[in-house]
Each structure stands twice: as structure tokens, then as C-alpha cells.
Amino acid sequence: MERERATSPMIPVVEGRTILDRIELKQLEHVVEICRAGSFSGAARRLRLSQPALSKSISRLEAQLGVLLFKRAGGAARPTEFGELIADRGRALLDSATALSRELEQRAGHVTGRLRIGLGPTTRLRPMPQVIRGLAAQYPELKLDVRVEDAPSVMRGVDQGRYDLAFGYSDYAEPYGELIRVKIFEDPIVFVTRPGHPLTQIGAPLTAEEISRYPMASVGLPSSLGDWLGDYANTREANLRALVCNDMELMTASLPENYTLRGPHFLFERAFADGELVETPTEWKATYHCWMLTTPENWRLPVIKAVADIARGLA
């Protein structure tokens, strides 16, 4: 009886081995990037290659395998079933090769390469400055790629592999239970205003009704604050979202006279000392918990643990 034909793509076999055994990691990277970008031109930019060089690499790989990897039309590149198979398997191989290379270098005492760090709008001000200085002193050959996004995005970036580690507010780290979470520091969250604000004339602590009367500046409205505000969070939503910005320095420097601003206490210490801002105590008590997130694989690397120690002031 004739065997049922396999439905998955078959890779040619030569001398007892698949031709895939001969694929270079660089070629795998090229296939993965073209699938990700959806075009040769986009992938070439990401890989920092010329488009002719990338096309030549793929053509050579297609000749080795004897199969077509991409269908090209109108500037786009759509992977064939063989291209999809190689990209799917190639991603895991590339991640493993990168992790192995970095671990070998670090165990040998040579920390080089590039560390990708994601930051939220608050953690870029603390602890990142001390982390940059500390890493430069301990690992002078290490290169840093530091990006600032909103806090949920940086946490998601670690989970998706865009960052090797990230710093952010603990509330946004909760969904990622499979990642390593390291507590860096904590600080009380406070409301501040300009010295002449009407709220400074009201006896403290301020109630939810009182604080919600005036426009507020912040990076967003956390659920715990929304719970405290209760019905006022709906009836005065325009006030509570009067200024939403992911740059705390900008909001601190440009805070209008009739606005309140919310954030960790450490952000305003200089403004308090200069008399530019004053704290307006409220009945809402909350704490900012800064956490570092990374993957279990990255946590095995000495440089990742060094970052955590530097951030906590232990190194």
C-alpha cells in the first residue's frame, strides 16, 4: 500500500544529512528578518546590509536547499512554506546562539556586545543614571541600547524579547509571572502643586472630592487611585486626565499654577528644596515600587545581576 504523502514541507537530504545542517546562523537571521519586515528592503535596513547583498544571501541559500523561500511582488516578500519553516525554527536557534555566546563571554570575564534596556518615564530618572555610570565603570566594553516607552510597553518588551531587561512600576509587571522580577526600591507617591494653588489653603489631608476639583498632570491613572476617587473618577475625568505625559521632568518644569501633579516623592526633591513645588498630602496612601524584569535565561548572566546590584546601590 502506498504511503500517505507527508503534508509538511520536506527538506532535501544529502549523504544522510539535511542541507539545513549547512545553513549559517547569518543566513537564518536574514530569513527571520525578511519575514518580520515583510520585504527585502525593510530587512536590509534592520540588518544594516545593502539590499543586493541580502538578495544574494537568500539566493545562495535557496540554491543550497533547492527550494524557493520567498515570493516577491510589488516590493513585498511573502515566505513560502519552506521560508516559514526556516524562520520559525531559526528564531529559537538564533536566541539560543546569542545566549550561549554571551554566557561564554561573561564566564570568561569578557563582557562585550550590547545590552538592551527598556525604561518607563519614571525609571529613566532613577535608577537608570546610576546604572549607566556603574556599567561603564565595571564593563567598559559593554554597549548599551536604552529606550524609553510607557511602562506597560517596556514590560511587554522583555516578554517579547525586544529588551534584555526593563525597569518599571510594579503594577505593570504583575501579568508577567514567568519573568524574573527584582525589587529595586520603593518611594511614597505624593501630590504636588505650585505654592499658590488653592489646595494649599485647605487643611490636609485632602479628600478625593477636593483633589479631583482641579486639573491633574500625571503619566496615567492607576487602578488604585481610581478606586480611591470612586464616582469622582467618572464625573471629573476631564480634570483627572487634563495632562497625560510620559516625561516627568517636562511636567515638573512646566506645571501650570492651577494643576496638581502626582508621582514618587524622589522626583520632586529638588523642586521642593527650591520652593517651586509643595506637597499636598491626601487621604490616598500609595507606594511606588520599582522592579527590574528579565528572563530566567538572562538572569543567569553575571552582567544582568550586576545591573540589579548597581540599581539597588549594592555594587
Do 190 and 262 meet the contact criterion of CB atoms below 8 Å apart?
A: yes
Residues of CATH 3.40.190.10 domain(s) within the chain? Answer: 113-180+290-311, 187-288
Do 278 and 202 meet the contact criterion of CB atoms below 8 Å apart?
A: no
CATH 3.40.190.10 fits 187-288, yes or no: yes
Per-residue pLDDT of the chain (315 residues; tens, 9 = 90+): 333 333 445 444 444 445 555 578 888 889 999 998 999 998 888 787 888 889 999 999 988 888 999 998 888 999 999 999 888 888 888 777 777 666 655 554 555 578 999 999 899 999 999 999 999 998 888 899 999 998 889 999 998 889 999 999 888 887 888 889 999 999 999 999 999 999 999 988 999 999 999 999 998 888 889 999 999 988 899 999 999 998 999 999 999 999 999 999 999 999 999 999 999 999 999 999 999 999 988 888 888 999 999 999 864
What is the C-alpha separation between 203 and 308, in angstroms, rounded?
41
The pLDDT value recorded for residue 232 is 92
Give strand pairing partners of 293.
166, 181
What is the C-alpha separation between 29 and 61, in angstroms, rounded?
12
The pLDDT value recorded for residue 103 is 61
Amino acid at 272: F
What is the C-alpha separation between 214 and 239, in angstroms, rounded?
6
What is the C-alpha separation between 195 and 41, in angstroms, rounded?
55
* Dihedrals phi, psi of 196, to nearest 5 degrees: -90, 10
What is the C-alpha separation between 24 and 19, in angstroms, rounded?
11
Residues of CATH 1.10.10.10 domain(s) within the chain? Answer: 13-106
The pLDDT value recorded for residue 242 is 96
CATH number of 113-180+290-311: 3.40.190.10
The pLDDT value recorded for residue 208 is 95
Residue with cell 494643576: 259
CATH topology of domain 13-106: Arc Repressor Mutant, subunit A (1.10.10)
Do 127 and 185 meet the contact criterion of CB atoms below 8 Å apart?
A: yes
The sign of the torsion formed by the CA atoms of 190, 149, 181, 179 equals positive
- Which triple of cell numbers denotes residue 230? 470612586
